Amino acid sequence: MKYVSTRGEIPKLDFKDTVFEGLAEDGGLIVPERIPKLSEKEIEELRNLNYQELALRIFKYYVSDIEEKDLKELIERAYKNFRAKEVTPVVKAGDIYILELFHGPTWAFKDIALQFLGVLFEKLLLDTGKKINILGATSGDTGSAAIYGVKGKKNIAIFILHPYKRVSEIQALMMTTVIDPHVYNIAIEGTFDDCQAMVKAIFMDLEFKRRYRLTTVNSINWARIMSQMVYYFWAYFRVSEKEKCESVRISVPTGNFGDIFAGYLARKMLGENKIERLILATNENDILCRFVNNGDYSVREVKPTISPSMDIQVASNFERYLYYFYGEDPKKTKEIMERFSKERAIKFTEEEIKRVQKDFLSASINQEKTLETIREFYQETGYILDPHSAVGVKAGLKFKDKYPLICLATAHPAKFPETVSQALGFPIKLPEEIEKLYHLSQRFEILPAEIEKVKAFISKRAI
């Protein structure tokens, strides 16, 4: 499989070339040259595989430059520390299914991609003798997942900026209690936007970037999307078997359009008769919901909510969807994205909206409804949802009809204990592994929001 840019102006890449890339050099995103549509026979051959075997079979469609036995070993290593043997178990709660994606080391779904990315980075670096320094900014979940993904890996150091005292206590602890010679947590005296702006500015200093071989692990990384496709297949097989049915609907709480885009690709491979539609669930930051329901993709202010990992306005993977939506036309994609970057809005026609709605249903769930859903769902089923998963469940239930409904649970409720306890009216019990974090020693550096200070810190410690 070769890879191209959504804007069509770079030479074709191999899979390995995509692994350390963020944006393509023409400003587009990297996508596979084609998405294979599987035959019924191919699909049935995948049905009874375990998670790791399934991942290997799916990855093989997209990775032709890593040997199968190596790929198999990477997958085994990536998922061996998950607390659930099935990696992403599907459980029934009331009359819907919950796909639990939070059994990795940082209790949220980003582990599924970043545990794989960590071992993949290390292998490619060891093969070539190269070293990299990862630099990123986090408002919570991604930073800890990235740190756990690369800690202890050879030839990699990681620098993660977070806003000092402005991430949740558990999120901070999950980062700062990782004591590893090549893991650096930098607590910035400022906001998440300050952190992100500094990271962007540092990457723009091409000389600095090259000298320290700086790399990102952001949500546009193709290998991350690819690893997330696996659990859509997994959930489809578990539920279609139990319900003895052909079609399901899957509800996905969405921020950057990464997770749901992986679902969109899985649907392309499986066929629209298998995943009837995806339900795109947003919180009050509803640009994607407005897109699906009214064709209005226009940027508004980011509003902080109780599902903070979805507090996003410009969804970084959206361009990939547009590329497929317009029949893999890079000229059209480029033209629209360039217009969007000037006008901060795209308006879609009635005909286009109808077409989008063949792929997605969508609802935006406000914070009051989210809290109410956590409470009511617990009362009805005994299952405790985290605020992100609750957004997905509520949106899913709005569209519940004859199709079995699968809702993605993207974080464990113990990651957001204050909100969940408030919703339930009693304090939730923290798992022992999370409780333990409060007693571990922490290591982090506090720096002012000044680029030169951050650069100096990195240059002293980069490998």
Ligand X SMILES: *Cc1c(COP(=O)(O)O)cnc(C)c1O
Report the interface residues with ligand X, using CB under 6 A: 108, 110, 141, 219, 253-260, 309-310, 388, 410-411
Measured CA to CA, the distance from residue 377 to residue 368 in angstroms comes to 14
* Catalytically annotated residue among 110, 268, 334, 394: 110
Nearer to ligand X, 233 or 264 (CB): 264
Which 3 state secondary structure label does DSSP give 31? strand
Inter-CA distances, 390 with 285, 347, 410, 440, 458, Å: 15, 29, 10, 31, 39
Task: Give the list of residues 6+ apart from residue 195 with CB closer than 8 angstroms, or none.
Answer: 137, 138, 161, 162, 163, 188, 449
For the residues of 52-96, what is the DSSP string, one character each? HHHHHHHHHHH--SS-HHHHHHHHHHHHTT-SSTTSS-EEEETTE
Nearer to ligand X, 101 or 161 (CB): 101
Token couple for 385: 């949802």
Measured CA to CA, the distance from residue 159 to residue 146 in angstroms comes to 10
Nearer to ligand X, 194 or 259 (CB): 259
Token couple for 136: 């990123």
We find the least distance from the C-beta atom of residue 258 to ligand X, in angstroms, to be 3
Give 267's DSSP letter: H
Task: Give the list of residues 6+ apart from residue 431 with CB closer than 8 angstroms, or none.
Answer: 412, 414
Nearer to ligand X, 260 or 275 (CB): 260
We find the least distance from the C-beta atom of residue 193 to ligand X, in angstroms, to be 17
Phi (first) and psi of residue 32, to 5 degrees: -65, 150
Task: Give the list of residues 6+ apart from residue 42 with CB closer than 8 angstroms, or none.
Answer: none
Nearer to ligand X, 190 or 263 (CB): 263
Token couple for 209: 């970037």
We find the least distance from the C-beta atom of residue 20 to ligand X, in angstroms, to be 20
Nearer to ligand X, 177 or 256 (CB): 256
Measured CA to CA, the distance from residue 109 to residue 408 in angstroms comes to 9
We find the least distance from the C-beta atom of residue 310 to ligand X, in angstroms, to be 5
We find the least distance from the C-beta atom of residue 257 to ligand X, in angstroms, to be 6
To the query of whether residue 354 is one of the catalytic residues in this protein, the response is no
Active site residues: 110
